Amino acid sequence: MHVVVTGGGGFLGSHLCEALLARGDSVTCLDDFSTGSPDNIAHLYSRERFAFRLTDVSAGIDMAGPVDAVDAVVHLASPASPADYYRLPLETLAVGSRGTEHALELAQRHGARFVLASTSEVYGDPHVHPQPEDYLGNVNPVGPRSVYDEAKRYAEALSCAYARTHGANVGIIRIFNTYGPRLRPHDGRVVSSFIRQALAGEPLTLYGSGDQTRSFCYVDDLVRGIVAMIDSRELGPINLGNPDERSIAQLAGLVLEITGSDSGTEFLPLPADDPVRRCPVIIRATERLGWKPEISLEDGVQRTVAWFRSQTRVTPPREAPSAERANDSTSAVQGRPHPLETG
């Protein structure tokens, strides 16, 4: 297959690009590095079946030049951590709306499978627990988190409209908390924040009481689910996540135990609209995709800590490329780094 991955330079996207190449697919990765990093895909540039285009998908997707027929488009492009979508609210709404439509149009032109990476955030602060796909959610449409929540809800509505109106081959996955190597240490997600703080000997920051829960899925498991969705014709939505529900305080204790850190903890006020509980029902994923997570939280956190320790330095977030460069359709590369990555 030839698979186009938007947001392929991000944490999750880079792992998906790897998995697709490993099974023999060709991959075109689109990213503007507003939240992703060239480092995530630098090891892929020499691969014969890998191509990169510096692209802001909200502005359009130009696949001009020699491009094989596209068999699948996986739309991952979006800020995904609260720190990022608070910093980039309009960009988050744009990539969920215009970016989704551009990716759908690309898939439709090629008669390709379209997989939308939606999120458990569409459930908001849920009144139903755990969350099945037919739960309609409890989202504050004007709160600070709404730029991400509503962007994904709109993206789901748009994808379903394309399926109903144009017969598009659409699949929607709702991704729950995912972690693993290549998480940015300063991206504000709880696993990366706790590990960075523990390794630096800083207090682990817990918001609220620490009793709120999440369900953490290791990235390798999550990618297997995305690949299964690419290969299916399921519309969804289908939850992808690990139903092993843990409190944030339990996660903090696990990180301290695995790192051997003597860091303490500190408690800060709970942010607005922060969900109290979050846990997926994965019956659809198991029955329709033959998927379920296999890696325990303990094993996954050990692997993630080992990766963080292997990094020789912790860098601040990268500055996004200029708009002129991000929209430059001549920036496709095949088998070599784009100049942006060599500096």
- The predicted-structure confidence for 242-266, as pLDDT tens digits, reads as follows 999 999 999 999 999 999 999 999 9
Q: Is the dihedral of CA 18, 27, 327, 105 positive or negative?
A: negative
pLDDT at 87 over 60: yes
- Give me the mean pLDDT over the 103-122 stretch: 97
- The predicted-structure confidence for 186-197, as pLDDT tens digits, reads as follows 988 999 999 999
CA distance 137 to 236: 16
**What global pTM score does this model have?**
0.89
Helix axes 248-259, 297-310, angle to 10 degrees: 50
pLDDT over 90 percentage in the chain:
84
Residue owning tokens 């492009």: 77
CA distance 194 to 202: 9
Q: Which domains does the chain have, with CATH numbers?
A: 2-180+217-243+279-295+320-342 (3.40.50.720)
Tokens representing 64? 């001009």
pLDDT at 125 over 70: yes
pLDDT value for 67: 67
Respond yes or no on whether the N-terminal peptide bond of residue 237 is cis (omega within 30° of 0). Answer: yes
- The predicted-structure confidence for 267-325, as pLDDT tens digits, reads as follows 999 887 788 899 999 999 999 999 999 999 999 999 999 999 998 654 444 443 433 33
Q: State the catalytic residues.
A: 148
- Do residues 82 and 42 make contact, with C-beta atoms less than 8 angstroms apart? no
CA distance 122 to 154: 10
